[in-house]
Amino acid sequence: MFQRVRIRITALTLAIVICLYAISSLAVYSIVREAVLRSVDQRLNTVIQTMPSGNVNRVLATLPPGTWMVVHTPVADLSNNAPSSVLNTLETWADAGHLPARARATLTPQPGMELRALYLPLGPNSDVSGYIVVAIDILRELAVLERLRDVLFAVGCAGLLAAAFAGFYLAERALRPIRAAWRRQLQFVADASHELRTPLAVIQSNLGIVLEHTHETVTDNLEWIHNAHSEARRLSKLVQDLLTLARGDAEQMPLSLQTVDVSELAGRMAELFEPVAQMRELTLTRDCDPHVLVKGDPDRLHQLLVILVDNACKFTPAGGTVTLRVRKLRHTAILEVADTGIGIEDKHLPRIFDRFYQADEARARGPAQGTGLGLAIAKWIVEAHRGKITVSSRIGQGTTFTVQLPLA
């Protein structure tokens, strides 16, 4: 599919390049040709202007090479040493019809010769009636124009080949993020299907057991009902997380922006997770600069801290420490959630914010059970606030998530 799209983009690019180059080349050639012919016409006008000021025979004798003149009157026809083919062509053109004064034409008296001719009738102000035709050989000028045409054609062919290669390459670069997004979408759908299938299977199996024991009381089947209810809650959270990411991707979840004191928010978060830390025998500390203000959505920022602190508590063994830090750095608010937990291997760090990605399959079981969407949601929240989130970790020493947000 992408290969066909790439070929179509290249073909469209070539069509646009061909049209633009054809129009520009035609314009350049027409302008140069018009300038050349205008220069030749000025030379013919100069020759015509010498006629009233001198003897006709003398003027005819002093014409430069490649220039011919025919003076036709009722009394005589005068011309310089013009070849018979030139003379016949000029006279035929002049006698063909009523030409306007200073009519111009390009004539071909014989192969290998091109003439630019100028016609001037002898009007009422002259002593005699008739006409004057002066012509000049423009074969050299036309050769220059032909060479220009060949150059434009050669440059066009070379440019077309270059445009084809460049278009094919640039189309590949343009489609690269789309292809990656498509692969991520396919992976996302596959992962979502897998994650949704698991709790549904558990719910169905437990409810199936209940249906097989219809003769028993609710108390007797409480274990199966409890399992189904637990998986239903997990499924509901998973669907809610998926909906949050989908709305975020579609930019259909606007933020309620207001001034938020991140220091105060971190303090409330420490109080909220203090019982969790005590239950898991962890030390939860706070190191915050006072009154660090950002422009953001307080609910989303609260959700961000919940995700980061909850992850830190999950993956820190008993006796460890989780630290919340908030400080100012120039025009940026720095929020850090650091732990002394098990850490993350370097090979997993580039994908830690991918949806459904689990650095350790064991984390999908036991007390650290999760769907792999928390950090993806955290990244979306930070980017929606025009911020940046990074992670650093060392195995056995802990992990630090750093969030940078612009100050209010």
Q: pLDDT at residue 75 above 90?
A: no
181 compared with 139, residue with greater pLDDT: 139
Q: pLDDT at residue 49 above 50?
A: yes
Task: Tally Cβ neighbours within 10 Å of residue 170.
Answer: 15
The residues near 130 (Cβ < 8 Å, ≥ 6 apart) are 71, 72, 73, 74, 121, 122
What's residue 127's pLDDT?
54
Q: Where are the domains of the chain?
A: 64-137, 176-249, 258-406
CB 292 within 8 A of CB 263: yes
**pTM higher than 0.85, yes or no?**
no
Fold of 176-249: Helix Hairpins (1.10.287)
How much is the average pLDDT of 198-210?
84
Mean pLDDT computed over every residue of the chain: 83
Which of 402, 401, 399, 404 shows the shortest CA–CA distance to 321?
399
144 compared with 235, residue with greater pLDDT: 144
CA pair distance 44, 161, nearest whole angstrom: 44
Domains 176-249 and 258-406 share a fold: no
CB 227 within 8 A of CB 259: no
CB 121 within 8 A of CB 31: no
CATH of domain 258-406: 3.30.565.10
Q: pLDDT at residue 154 above 90?
A: yes
168-177 pLDDT, tens digit each:
888 888 888 8
Q: In the chain, what percentage of residues exceed pLDDT 90?
A: 21
